[in-house]
Amino acid sequence: MSAEPADIEIRDESIRLGQLLKLAGLVDDGAMAREVITAGEVTVNDEVDTRRGRQVRPGDVVSFAGQQVRVTSRA
């Protein structure tokens, strides 16, 4: 796993977990996002979260398949 997560900037104050995975390019589409999230392959702040609709906010770190992204905001 890389030492420093890549920053992914969002426009709003939060984004759904499935949307973030697509935005970050970690999955190809919503169906794949749903599969990997419900299979328990995604962590938010080092905790497995199986809710595709989980709201992630700036500062949260999401990990999947050995890659990490940190949510940031334009504000």
Does residue 1 fall inside a structural domain? no
Name the pTM for this structure. 0.91
Does residue 33 fall inside a structural domain? yes
Does residue 14 fall inside a structural domain? yes
Distance in angstroms (rounded) separating the CA atoms of residues 53 and 56: 9
- CATH (domain of 15): 3.10.290.10
The pLDDT value given to residue 1? 47
Three-class secondary structure of residue 64 per DSSP: strand
Strand 42-44 versus strand 47-48 pairing type: antiparallel
- Segment 40-65 mean pLDDT: 96
- Segment 17-30 mean pLDDT: 96
Distance in angstroms (rounded) separating the CA atoms of residues 35 and 17: 12
- Looking at the 3D structure of the chain, how many domains does it have? 1
Is the separation of the CB atoms in 16 and 52 below 8 Å?
Answer: yes
Checking if the pLDDT of 8 tops 80, the result is yes
Range of the domain at 35: 6-73
Checking if the pLDDT of 75 tops 70, the result is no
Mean pLDDT, rounded, of the chain: 94
- Segment 6-29 mean pLDDT: 96
Does residue 22 fall inside a structural domain? yes
Does residue 26 fall inside a structural domain? yes
